[in-house]
Amino acid sequence: MSDTTPPGVRLQVVRGQGDGPSHTQVFELPPGSAASLLDGLCWLREHVDPTLAFRYACINANACKECMVRVDGETVYACVVRLTPGTTLSVEPLPNKPRLRDLVTEIAPSKEQWRPDDAC
């Protein structure tokens, strides 16, 4: 029995749809499963819950700027948040943007969106 196994990381993720009610879901990331928060969210979607919604494009390069989330009250890019074994992070959608689902908010300027009311 090894006592040198590093602990995992716990994520407390606020989930919900649109203006609807929110609930916090607690996820455990096994040791070594993820180096960044974005890695962790992708791991969870692959291994635990395929419905977990979050934005990203460039995977890990910090180039696309799509993965903005709120971690422990601070707005950050999920791809550069380094996960420290044995810690717990609270992860929420951006507070100042309309929530679409879970961690996905409407971050595009209005001129880059289709709005159904515009239809012919």
Interacting residues with another protein between 71 and 110 (CB under 8 A): 77, 79-82, 100-102, 104, 106-108
User: CA torsion sign, 37 to 105 to 63 to 74?
Assistant: negative
- Closest contact distance (angstroms) between CB of 4 and another protein is 19
CA end-to-end distance (rounded Å), the chain: 67
User: Is 27 near another protein (CB under 8 A)?
Assistant: no
- Measured from the CB of residue 29, what is the shortest distance to another protein in angstroms? 14
What burial class does residue 78 get, using C-beta atoms within 10 Å of its C-beta: 0-12 exposed, 13-18 middle, 19+ buried? Answer: buried
Q: Is 69 in the site for another protein (CB under 8 A)?
A: no
Q: Which is nearer to another protein, 3 or 117 (CB)?
A: 117
Near another protein by CB under 8 A: residue from 58, 72, 95, 97: 58
